[in-house]
Structure 1
Amino acid sequence: MEQFFDPEMLGEATRQAGRLIAAALFSGVIGFERESKDHPAGLRTHMLVGIGACLFTLLMTLLIGRFDSDDVRADPVRVVEAITSGVAFLAAGVIIQARGRVHGLTTGASLWLAGAVGLGAGLGEYLLSFIAVVLTLVVLRVIKAFE
């Protein structure tokens, strides 16, 4: 019980919670845009993808710190690949082909991007994640006007 109230651990937990919250907020912005356009994967789905990617990233950093030694070689790129392919699998489920037309491709791409935003937030790269969200909104809103 004393370990739970260790100030150093409490500070780390607060930082991790901040990263999870940032992932939820950043990916939620993308999800809100999709929701406002009445697309299949909206606010909650995007937030869950961002939070999940962030959590996997946080767990990866903990595992690397815990098991990185001469005997065990940590490879964070593998975790990034696993997050990417897992989110891509989910995003592919949003894409529907009906009567020779493809629907949901942009929403699938935005889910994939929400995973990347969550990964960035999990690494503490808030500015990079924020810029990605802004660019995503530009693509979804501004570029759409030119199509």
Structure 2
Amino acid sequence: MQPLFDDFTVDTVLPWQVIAVRLVFAILLSGILGFERELTDRPAGLRTHMLVSLASATFALVAVEIISMQVFADQRVQTDPVRLVEAITAGVAFLAAGFIIFKRGQVRGLTTGAGMWLAAAIGLSVGLGLWTIAALSCLLGTIVLALLRRLEVKLAIKKPTPGAEE
């Protein structure tokens, strides 16, 4: 019976406080992007962006922990961190593609899909502890989403979003 309980350990390479901060930071940064999407009444908003980023950060943390697990220390087991990036990219691309709609000769949802992809990248960056990359990506993504939308409206490239303040 004891071996069964030995398997239920909370030991991780990273301290739980670091894990918690990374997960919360992923939620906060992607929440900024999601909030902008909410303001413009887009289908993938605050909660969706936060969940995508949280999931990506979780996958990154799992990858960090897997690399150090004794069960995977065998010579025959090889780790390739790039596979993590590829898997998250493919998964989120599939999810983001669901927001893209072609209707009456118009393509809609591309920016929402791109925002989802960026939220995943931010989450992955935070999960791996790459704080500067995550923060700068969030800042630049917010600038692109919020400020360039206003510029497009002023230049009459896009119509104002109903209900959004100009």
Q: CA deviation at 1:133?
A: 0.7
Q: CA deviation at 1:68?
A: 4.1
Relative to structure 1, the CA distance from residue 142 to residue 10 in structure 2 (aligned partners, 3 Å threshold; closer, same or farther) is: same
Corresponding letter in the other structure for 1:35: E
Worse-superposed segment, 11-20 or 26-35: 11-20
Alignment-derived partner of residue 32 in structure 1: 35
Question: Which entry has the higher C-alpha Rg, 1 or 2?
Answer: 2
Alignment-derived partner of residue 54 in structure 1: 57
Q: CA deviation at 1:126?
A: 1.5
Alignment-derived partner of residue 139 in structure 1: 144
Please say if 1:129 is aligned against 2:130: no
Q: CA deviation at 1:98?
A: 0.7
Relative to structure 1, the CA distance from residue 57 to residue 96 in structure 2 (aligned partners, 3 Å threshold; closer, same or farther) is: same
Corresponding letter in the other structure for 2:59: F
Relative to structure 1, the CA distance from residue 74 to residue 111 in structure 2 (aligned partners, 3 Å threshold; closer, same or farther) is: same
Relative to structure 1, the CA distance from residue 82 to residue 5 in structure 2 (aligned partners, 3 Å threshold; closer, same or farther) is: closer
Alignment-derived partner of residue 23 in structure 2: 20
Alignment-derived partner of residue 74 in structure 1: 79
TM-score by length of 2: 0.80
Q: Deviations over 1:40-70 (max 9, x none)?
A: 0000000000000000010011111112442
- Give the superposed CA RMSD: 2.1
Q: CA deviation at 1:4?
A: 6.0
Q: Deviations over 1:9-61 (max 9, x none)?
A: 59711111110000000111100000111000000000000000000010011
Q: Where does structure 1 lack aligned partners over 5 or more consecutive residues? A: none
Alignment-derived partner of residue 122 in structure 2: 117
Q: Report SS of the residue matched to 1:97.
A: strand
TM-score by length of 1: 0.90
More helix by share: 1
